[in-house]
Amino acid sequence: MFPFPTFPESASSISGRIDLLYLFLVGISMLMSVSIFLCILFFAIKYRRGSRADRSNIRHHSGTVELLWSGIPLLVFVFVFGWGASIFYDAFTAPDDALQVYVVGKQWMWKIQHPEGKREINQLHVPVGESVKLTLTSEDVIHDFFIPAFRVKRDVLPGRYTSLWFRAIKTGSFHLFCAQYCGTNHSAMIGSVVVMEPTDYQNWLAGGPPAESMAAAGAKLFERYNCNTCHRPGGRGPPLSQVFGSQVLLASGATVLADEAYLRESILNSTAQVTAGYQPIMPTFQGQISETGVLHLIAYLQSLGAGGKVQAQP
């Protein structure tokens, strides 16, 4: 239809909905712009100096006109807000059964790891038709994970976790960019997302030399740093079985969800949120464990099970 591409390829379950909303907004903007221009042109010609237009009985107020030019745009704006909010909610709420993949941004590359242990640099392999949730963090500065064909983009921040999800609807290779200026070689921080048939993806995942799973690597770190001497039943630290996803009662009396962010902070800054019934005696591991190592430890804690009750020492 056009001699040049006007949009990136649409390759995810949400991309078509985002494009439709964008086109609707462009259409409304063009309609209003053209309407206003035509009105200005019409009145400029009709009431130009020297014209015979009737200038008697000038009306300075019309309740009907004012109601229409206020009410109609209000209804349009409310409609657009509801439409956009629906897309926003779906775009940032990953399904519970989504495939988990972990991404660490670093000047100037994307380090990607699958729970099974497979690692990639600047390339992400995913199966077509399956929801994929990415947990992202940065080792240095602010980056931005951007896949134009999927219409997903998320800031990647040092010191915290962000996430995005997508469901690819066609196979192929799609561009991956860093959309936030992050230093001298920002323009070289590019990669690709390779979408494969589920069978091909499983073959790829199982191919190559045997890879250690993230949970297994985390278990080794757990022992290396002697975490098991305290975090055991009856130990000086709270037991960690089924801690992931549970509500933890803090010494302050508040409760907090034991998600990835809470576990990361507890590892790197152990005195920030102390569990009720325990003393703040855990050493800090800030600067001793890399972001990848923290993700391994979190994967290990996830493998211990997920709970929903308040965790506290009586």
CATH code assigned at 198:
2.60.40.420
More confident residue, 124 or 2: 124
Into how many domains does the chain fold? 2
**Two structure tokens written together for 7:** 């949009």
pLDDT band at 241 (very low <50, low <70, confident <90, very high): confident
Residue-level pLDDT at 5: 67
Q: Which amino acid is at 136?
A: L
More confident residue, 277 or 87: 87
Assess whether 166 and 252 both reside in one domain: no
Q: Which amino acid is at 3?
A: P
Residue-level pLDDT at 131: 95
Q: What is the pLDDT of residues 92-107, one digit of tens each?
A: 999 989 999 999 999 9
pTM: predicted TM-score of the whole model, two decimal places: 0.81
CATH number at residue 268: 1.10.760.10
Assess whether 192 and 228 both reside in one domain: no
Q: What percent of the chain lies above the pLDDT cut of 90?
A: 50
Q: What is the pLDDT of residues 171-220, one digit of tens each?
A: 999 999 999 999 999 999 999 999 999 999 999 988 877 778 888 888 89
Assess whether 303 and 219 both reside in one domain: yes
In whole angstroms, give the CA distance from residue 161 to residue 147: 18
Q: Which domain holds residue 19?
A: 1-39+94-211
Residue-level pLDDT at 246: 87
Mean pLDDT of the chain: 88
SS3 letters across 69-136:
HHHHHHHHHHHHHHHHHHHHHHHCCCCCCCEEEEEEEECCEEEEECCCCCEEECEEEEECCCEEEEEE
Is residue 70 in some structural domain? Answer: no
